[in-house]
Amino acid sequence: MKAPLATGIAIAVGLIVLAGYFIPNPNLQNVRVVLLNWSILLAAVASLVAIINLVINHFRKAANKGQPRVFSIIVLISFFITFLAGIILGPSNDQFQHVVTNIQVPIESTLLAVLSVSLAYAAFLFVRQRTGWGNTVFMVSVVIFLMINSWYLVFGQGFPILEEIVSVIQKIPLAGSRGILIGIALGSLVTGLRILTGIDRPYSG
């Protein structure tokens, strides 16, 4: 086994934190809180290292004349302006939050728009490359939910029965989202158990 010391420490820390959630022992609770605070501190340091690495890489790209460096220069200027404004005004300043929000929200909306186009193109390729009843059900479901969540059925708000039917159908995607969350939870649980048992050792390089 490679890095047995790191593996033993990771398993011991994981078992202590896990036991702290189930065993009402004050000493164990205190140790669990300390370990969690250490992990939060390490995550913050790792984020800082990632930011520094990002800035260094963009500095290198901006200094290289053989590559397009306009975007790297824009990233560096935006980073340093945001960084200095955050230090001078503080992250809780209303004006600073207003500016950051007005920049971040349009960017996130643009990314969601690109994601929507990508999903539509993926659905088109899925239907084109594979044929069968499953594809038919998929496309019919997509069309129905797009119509229900658009303005086409706004007139149905005046009819109680149709309004109830539309309301029930609109809640169906919640089951899918909950299924995705359950899958994420199960995947995280399996990953945690594999690390606790030493099967996976991402910390050993």
- Could you report how far apart the first and last alpha carbons of the chain are, in Å? 13
What pLDDT, on the 0 to 100 scale, is given for residue 149? Answer: 66
> Rounded CA gap, 115 and 100, in Å?
22
Q: Count CB atoms within 10 A of the CB of residue 20.
A: 19
Where residue 199 falls among pLDDT bands split at 50, 70, 90? confident
- pLDDT at residue 82 in the model: 84
Neighbours of 41 (CB within 10 A): 10
Cα separation, 100 vs 96, whole angstroms: 6
Distance separating alpha carbons of residues 24 and 22, to the nearest angstrom? 6
pLDDT at 49: 92
Better pLDDT: 67 or 13: 13
At 53 the pLDDT is: 92
pLDDT tens profile 131-185: 677 777 777 777 777 776 666 555 555 666 766 776 777 677 777 778 788 888 8
Inter-CA distances, 196 with 6, 115, 154, 203, Å: 12, 36, 53, 12
**Long-range CB contacts (within 8 A, 24+) of 191-194:** 192/14
- What is the token pair recorded at 134? 């499953």
Across 32-41, 88-97, 167-176, least confident range = 167-176
159 vs 194 pLDDT, higher one: 194
